[in-house]
Amino acid sequence: MPIALALVSSKIPPIWYGWIILPKTYKSRSTKIEVRLNKSYRIYQSSILRNRSEITKFQILLEVMRNQPHIKQKDISDVLGITIQAVSKYFKKLVKEGYLEIGLERANYRLTPKAIEKLREDVKNMERYFLRIANDLKIERVWPAIAMQPIKAGDKVGLIMKDGVLYAVAPNHPYAEAFGIAAMDANPGEDVGLGDLRGRVKLRQGKILIVKLPSIKEGGSRAVDLAKIRRIYEEFKPDRIGVMGAVGRAVLNKLGLKADLEFGITRAAALAALRGLSVFVLVVGRMVHRVIEEIDKVSVKHATNIMYLVEDGSLSY
């Protein structure tokens, strides 16, 4: 049974969440397993899969992304199991190649936009390659969804995305363009496992609008242009509202709005956008960079490009 690879493909319009069905090249002879690596595999074998040096660069960039801006080369040496001297050489190469920026302070490094793009591409290539192998070995994934009707094991169901949640519906549902086979019985509202996924789930492009607020030292909510923020909110029409800190909560109170995301919002906002939701986020200025870093991390992990925009909510004098 083939498996589905869930990713956003550059060949699919941005409103589509692609289920790409991979062909089967698995053979079995008695108790032996034979995997045929044909020409099509070369498509998925980028330089990172052929070159040990490229793998090490990839690992170092990931560690920098997780810990930036303060990076100790010894910590990376311990994680990767290579010498500090080797790590130092790689850092010099990555700076020279335009993947790392050196800050003013000691041990201060940041990824460049070029590095973020490289990580995204490397993750895409590895994901495609390893999922192709999983398909050849007949490793089958079961995808969870919420049943919207009574379902019996073996039923064919349609799939739709609503408010960021995957639902199993009747196969003749007008919005169903992806389909699967139920692995178990389920009542309406229950979770159900689905296999043999085919087609694609229609999904709009999620976005994040970050409103930069003044810190309490800069006047906090008293120094906010409430009319501007309300106008931005009404034009953006978000599905979810996220807030970080007391200043943001005070602004929402003054606007008469309620937050949906209050804790861990940097990651929650990025994951919500990944599922097609638009998220309105209020944070003080110094936290904006942290939110953007988390968006980039989620984008890299899921081999996609989450759209975001930053607006200044301070009063203009």
Window from 45-49, 93-97, 186-190, 277-281 with minimum mean pLDDT? 45-49
Task: Say yes or no to pLDDT of 227 above 90.
Answer: yes
Residue 160 identity (one-letter amino acid): I
The answer to whether 183 touches 189, Cβ cutoff 8 Å, is no
pLDDT at 187: 94
Residue 129 has pLDDT above 90, yes or no: no
- Examine the pLDDT at 215 and tell me if it is beyond 80: yes
pLDDT for the residue numbered 105: 67
pLDDT in tens, 79-111: 888 888 998 898 999 999 998 888 766 667 888
CATH 3.40.1010 is held by the domain 207-312: yes
Note the pLDDT of residue 38: 38
**pLDDT digit string, tens, across residues 64-74:** 888 777 788 88
- Give me the CATH code for the 25-137 domain, please: 1.10.10.10
Q: Which residues pair with 110 in a beta bridge?
A: 101
- Backbone φ and ψ for 7, nearest 5 degrees, come out as -160, 170
Mean pLDDT of the region 143-165: 90
Give the start-to-end residue ranges of the domains of the chain: 25-137, 143-202, 207-312
What class does CATH assign to 143-202? mainly beta
Answering whether pTM is above 0.85, one says no
